[in-house]
Each structure stands twice: as structure tokens, then as C-alpha cells.
């Protein structure tokens, strides 16, 4: 009888925990990546964005004042993601080399990025690459991001992707941005 009461109390206590209260230890390198991605929206005065955009066969090049809202729009998927919640040892394999970390999604997993590559230097993360793929009966899509950092700040990024909807021609896009000092123009 005491066991029944104890198990029912344990069940009630466990069901009252919110997902934020349940802590699962995340990889320290992935937590560092999340912190680095939060810094993407830091205003950098005295800099400009040299941006090249290609949509299918149309291409446009612009030089713009540094604007965090443009960066937020281009990198929305990364800024809104929590890689420390997605990448766990149960669903990703981790390969470590001298200066690079590679996380690959296990074949049984269907959600989250396919690969995450992090290159580290003396000052922390210097390069980050992530690739997403999604496929169902109606469409196929892939999207990849490459970001480089210098002294902890975003230096350049590249967003590339393609989509194929059933019955329509495939479309592709490319966004390349370099952050440069205004005097280096």
C-alpha cells in the first residue's frame, strides 16, 4: 500500500515539472555556440555590410550601413534556435579534431540540423557551419549557413538554400555578406 502511494506521489510531482525545470546537461561547446549566436545582433558602429543576393538567376549587390535588423532577418533561423536543446549525445554523434568539432545527426533522427561544424581558435569560435534538410510528400528543401567571426564579432556570413515543391520548378537563393570597416571601402 505504501508503494502505491509513493509511486502516485512521484507521478504527480514529475508531471508538475515544466520542460524548463527539467535540466539535461548540454555539450559545453554547443552552449558556447548559443552564446556566440546571441551576440549576432550587437551593433557594430563604423562598419558597413557588403551584401550580394542571388535568387535563382537574378543577382544584386549592395553596400549598406550596418543594421542589426538585416542580420536578424537573414539569420533568423539561427537566432531563434537553441542548439544546446537540439544537440544531445543521444541524437548526434560528435567528432573532435585538433581545432574543429563536427556534430552529425544520427540516421534515426528526423528533426534538427543534419550537420553542425564549429572551428575554434585561441579566442573562441572562429567559424560555424550548419545545414538543415527537410523533406516530405510535398517538398524538399535544404538550407546551409556559414558564419565567420573575428575577435568574437561576426565578420561574414553566407546563407544558401534551395526548395523544390511538387509540380513547380526548383528555386535557389544565396546571400553573402561581408562586414567591413567604412574606411576599407
What mean pLDDT is predicted for residues 87-112?
88
**Per-residue pLDDT tens for 159-179?**
999 999 988 889 999 999 999
Of all residues in the chain, the percent with pLDDT exceeding 90 is: 38
Question: How sure is the predictor about 25, in pLDDT bands with cuts at 50, 70 and 90?
Answer: low
**Per-residue pLDDT tens for 72-86?**
999 998 988 888 888
Question: How sure is the predictor about 131, in pLDDT bands with cuts at 50, 70 and 90?
Answer: very high
Q: Is residue 184 over pLDDT 60?
A: no
pLDDT at position 144 is: 96
* CA dist., res. 56 & res. 25, Å (int): 42
Q: Name beta bridge partners: 174.
A: 54, 160
pLDDT at position 21 is: 43
Query: 3-state SS string over the chain?
Result: CHHHHHHHHHHHHHHCCCCCCCCCCCCHHHHHHHHHHHHHHCCCCCEEEEEEEEECCEEEEEEEECCHHHHHHHCHHHHCCCHHHHCCCCCEEEEECCCEEEEEECCCCCCCCCEEEEEEECCEEEEEEEEEEEECCCEEEEEEEEEEEECCEEEEEEEEEEEEECCCCCEEEEEEEEEEEHHHC
Q: How far apart are the first and last CA of the chain?
A: 79
Which position has the higher pLDDT, 4 or 155? 155
Query: Would you say 101 and 29 are in contact if contact means Cβ atoms under 8 Å apart?
Result: yes
Q: Is residue 60 over pLDDT 90?
A: yes
Query: Would you say 34 and 84 are in contact if contact means Cβ atoms under 8 Å apart?
Result: yes
Of all residues in the chain, the percent with pLDDT exceeding 70 is: 84
Q: What is the gyration radius of the CA atoms in the chain, in angstroms? A: 21
What mean pLDDT is predicted for residues 20-39?
74
Q: Is residue 46 over pLDDT 80?
A: yes
Q: Is residue 58 over pLDDT 70?
A: yes
Amino acid at each position: 500500500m505504501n508503494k502505491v502511494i509513493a509511486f502516485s506521489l512521484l507521478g504527480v510531482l514529475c508531471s508538475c515539472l515544466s520542460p524548463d525545470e527539467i535540466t539535461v546537461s548540454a555539450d559545453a561547446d554547443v552552449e558556447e555556440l548559443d552564446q556566440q549566436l546571441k551576440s549576432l545582433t550587437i551593433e557594430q558602429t563604423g562598419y558597413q555590410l557588403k551584401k550580394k543576393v542571388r535568387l535563382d538567376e537574378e543577382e544584386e549587390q549592395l553596400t549598406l550601413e550596418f543594421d542589426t535588423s538585416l542580420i536578424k532577418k537573414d539569420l533568423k533561423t539561427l537566432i531563434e534556435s537553441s542548439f544546446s536543446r537540439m544537440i544531445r549525445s543521444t541524437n548526434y554523434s560528435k567528432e573532435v579534431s585538433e581545432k574543429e568539432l563536427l556534430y552529425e545527426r544520427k540516421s534515426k533522427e528526423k528533426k534538427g540540423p543534419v550537420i553542425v561544424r564549429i572551428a575554434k581558435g585561441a579566442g573562441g569560435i572562429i567559424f560555424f557551419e550548419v545545414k538543415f534538410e527537410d523533406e516530405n510528400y510535398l517538398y524538399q528543401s535544404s538550407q546551409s549557413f556559414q558564419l565567420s567571426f573575428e575577435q568574437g564579432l561576426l565578420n561574414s556570413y553566407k546563407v544558401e538554400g534551395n526548395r523544390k515543391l511538387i509540380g513547380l520548378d526548383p528555386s535557389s537563393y544565396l546571400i553573402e555578406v561581408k562586414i567591413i570597416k567604412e574606411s576599407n571601402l
